[in-house]
């Protein structure tokens, strides 16, 4: 609840005039579905079915985004890599002090910025860079508008690259779209069709590759910082559309290796996270279902003199 998640029946009571129903033996609400802040905005209906004897089934209707669909969210700064920093002798240099005449919101913003700037300077002296995504505490006053997209725009055709897991996260899907673009470029350059429409297609495709999201600070600079194991790969991403098939092939092959490593890392992290959540859920269920111990009768103890 501290992260904004809500019980589906409870939020439906507020938004859809839903009557909260018991889900376990007609007595309590032991079976529940919880929605994230983003999923709450997609909720359009809820039903509770009694298909089984002891437990009810909860069914939700979510508006799956198609085309341009947006939700509002409150992103938080990423965790600071404290494990890489020796902060035992570090004291943040704060120059902002609270006074009664100050605006509390502006003071908190300035105080947080001073803390982050002090830490960034200290880390830089130690040769460690604090990523930009770790900044921004107390700086956001409004939610951000985020576009919701379906996992993959279309399934892979025969001969095209495909994901190993359809439940990939947003970052993996962005990289996968880029992989598809490079594969399409590879085929288009190999075909070498000189018709005006084909030339325009290659130019637009190459511009989309340069503008691709999911790479810091952009794809061209990201490309120049990674190590390539494929022979003939240009260290700098060309500004113009590659004219030779060998270059287009090497671009695709090199990024393909990076994508598979990136995908494998995400799947491993996701698996670890799900196992931890599953173990924690089981422990919570056992604690919830465990019978309360019988109360012990207390006998008064009297001390006699002597």
Query: Structure pTM?
Result: 0.53
pLDDT in tens, 76-89: 888 888 888 888 87
pLDDT value of residue 299: 58
Domain ranges of the chain: 6-63, 82-148, 170-265
pLDDT value of residue 291: 62
Mean pLDDT, residues 242-268:
92
pLDDT for residue 295 is more than 70: no
Distance CA 82, CA 134 (A): 11
Band (257; pLDDT cuts 50, 70, 90): very high
């Amino acid at each position: 609840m501290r992260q904004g998640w809500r019980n589906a029946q409870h939020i439906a009571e507020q938004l859809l005039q839903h009557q909260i129903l018991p889900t376990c033996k007609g007595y309590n609400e032991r079976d529940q579905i919880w929605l994230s802040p983003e999923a709450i905005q997609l909720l359009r209906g809820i039903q509770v079915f009694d298909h089984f004897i002891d437990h009810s089934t909860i069914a939700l209707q979510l508006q799956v985004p198609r085309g341009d669909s947006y939700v509002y969210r409150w992103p938080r700064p990423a965790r600071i890599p404290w494990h890489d920093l020796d902060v035992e002798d570090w004291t943040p240099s704060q120059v902002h002090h609270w006074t009664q005449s100050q605006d509390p919101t502006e003071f908190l913003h300035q105080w947080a910025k001073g803390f982050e700037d002090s830490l960034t300077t200290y880390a830089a002296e130690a040769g460690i860079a604090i990523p930009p995504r770790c900044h921004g505490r107390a700086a956001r006053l409004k939610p951000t508008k985020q576009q919701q997209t379906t996992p993959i725009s279309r399934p892979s055709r025969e001969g095209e690259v495909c994901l190993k897991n359809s439940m990939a996260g947003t970052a993996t899907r962005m990289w996968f779209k880029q992989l598809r673009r490079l594969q399409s470029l590879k085929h288009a350059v190999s075909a070498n069709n000189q018709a005006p429409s084909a030339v325009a297609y290659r130019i637009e495709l190459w511009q989309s590759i340069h503008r691709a999201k999911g790479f810091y600070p952009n794809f061209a600079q990201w490309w120049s910082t990674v190590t390539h194991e494929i022979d003939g790969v240009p260290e700098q991403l060309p500004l113009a559309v590659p004219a030779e098939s060998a270059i287009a092939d090497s671009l695709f092959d090199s990024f393909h290796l990076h994508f598979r490593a990136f995908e494998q890392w995400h799947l491993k992290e996701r698996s670890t996270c799900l196992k931890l959540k599953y173990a924690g859920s089981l422990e919570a269920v056992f604690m919830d279902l465990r019978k309360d111990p019988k109360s012990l009768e207390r006998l008064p103890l009297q001390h006699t003199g002597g």
